[in-house]
């Protein structure tokens, strides 16, 4: 399960309103991408869904349960950031199993889940390596692996590929698409890369100054942009 509903969600930093009445229904298993110019509120909205930022007004529901006041640990979501904070001196295996270990999971279960995630992400040959001896792309796969191990209700990604070089970014985009197919999990993904958005998304949410300018499939947005802002952002000919 991984249906996420946003009801008239708003965010203020002091007097500054950065999220303005956002309504959105994300269905279980959907790949949703937030795009929009820098400062439009993509990260803030994602962090509100994850519980890392307080919601000033409105409600967030996961599978019908109101989680607006719940801490991140009670929401069952996994977040992957561009700055993947792995433990540099711990093996990949231990990095990936760490959250289960601290949660008190039995050793056999940790091993099984780490092996399963390593298989999906083709990290098996790297399980005994340390992140400090790995490339950026490999580290990013470990960061994603670490989030899979926790079997989250949904994955939240904030520009996970933006620190990688261009060719690696294309490879990782393909990895993420496969991951979504394999896990059939809900994914909410922030990017400012139009190609990433157009190739990965079931639906794209275009944000403009804290508002939703348009929501639709890549094709709907391309063929029928609601306004000039969306057209320019998506790069459609209109
Ligand atoms: P994006 O991820 O789309 O680039 P953000 O969600 O990071 O945008 O930021 C949205 C707006 O909120 C920006 O104007 C930013 O300056 C402001 N903002 C973000 N975090 C804070 C904060 N902790 N305190 C005050 N303003 C913030
Ligand atoms: Mg951001």
The 10s digit of each residue's pLDDT in 160-198 is 888 778 888 888 888 889 889 988 899 999 998 888 999
Distance CA 108, CA 20 (A): 47
**What ipTM was estimated for this complex?**
0.98
The answer, yes or no, to whether residue 236 has pLDDT greater than 80, is: no
Residues 6+ positions from 167 with CB-CB distance below 8 Å: none
What was the pLDDT predicted at 83?
A: 63
The answer, yes or no, to whether residue 32 has pLDDT greater than 90, is: yes
The answer, yes or no, to whether residue 82 has pLDDT greater than 80, is: no
Contact in structure between 41 and 197 (CB atoms under 8 Å): no
Phi, psi of 152 (to 5 degrees): -75, 160
Please state the atom number of ligand 1 nearest to the C-alpha of residue 40: 3
The answer, yes or no, to whether residue 19 has pLDDT greater than 80, is: yes
Task: Return the closest-CA partner of residue 52 out of 81, 30, 32.
Answer: 81
Coil, helix or strand at residue 182: helix
Question: Counting ligands in written order, which one lies closest to the CA of residue 162?
Answer: 2
CA nearest ligand 1 atom 26, residue: 13
Residues 6+ positions from 153 with CB-CB distance below 8 Å: 1, 2, 62, 63, 75, 76, 77, 185, 186
Look at 99-113, 144-158, 162-176 and tell me which has the smallest mean pLDDT.
162-176
Average pLDDT, rounded, for the chain: 92
Coil, helix or strand at residue 16: strand
CA nearest ligand 1 atom 5, residue: 41
User: How confident is residue 27, by pLDDT bands cut at 50, 70 and 90?
Assistant: very high
The answer, yes or no, to whether residue 88 has pLDDT greater than 90, is: no
Question: Counting ligands in written order, which one lies closest to the CA of residue 35?
Answer: 1
The answer, yes or no, to whether residue 34 has pLDDT greater than 60, is: yes
Distance CA 114, CA 151 (A): 11
**Residue 42 in contact with ligand 1 by CB distance below 6 A:** yes
Task: Return the closest-CA partner of residue 73 out of 37, 103, 42.
Answer: 103
- Residues 219-234 have a mean pLDDT of 92
Phi, psi of 62 (to 5 degrees): -115, 120
The answer, yes or no, to whether residue 237 has pLDDT greater than 80, is: no
């Amino acid at each position: 399960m991984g249906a996420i509903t946003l009801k008239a969600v708003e965010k203020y930093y002091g007097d500054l309103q950065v999220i303005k009445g956002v309504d959105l229904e994300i269905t279980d298993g959907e790949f949703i991408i937030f795009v929009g110019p820098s400062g439009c509120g993509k990260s803030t909205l994602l962090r509100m869904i994850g519980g890392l930022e307080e919601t000033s007004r409105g409600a967030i529901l996961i599978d019908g349960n109101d989680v607006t006041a719940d801490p991140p640990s009670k929401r069952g979501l996994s977040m992957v950031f561009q700055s993947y904070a792995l433990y540099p001196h711990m093996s990949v295996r231990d990095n990936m199993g760490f959250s289960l270990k601290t949660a008190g999971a039995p050793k056999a279960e940790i091993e099984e889940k780490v092996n399963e995630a390593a298989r999906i992400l083709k990290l098996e040959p790297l399980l005994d390596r340390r992140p400090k001896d790995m490339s950026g792309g490999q580290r990013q796969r470990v960061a994603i692996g670490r989030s899979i191990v926790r079997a989250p209700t949904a994955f939240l990604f904030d520009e996970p590929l933006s620190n990688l070089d261009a060719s690696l970014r294309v490879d990782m985009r393909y990895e993420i698409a496969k991951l979504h197919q394999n896990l059939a999990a809900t994914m909410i993904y922030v990017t400012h890369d139009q190609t990433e958005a157009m190739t990965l998304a079931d639906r794209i949410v275009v944000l403009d100054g804290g508002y939703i300018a348009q929501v639709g499939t890549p094709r709907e947005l391309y063929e029928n942009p609601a306004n000039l802002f969306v057209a320019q952002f998506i790069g459609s000919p209109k």
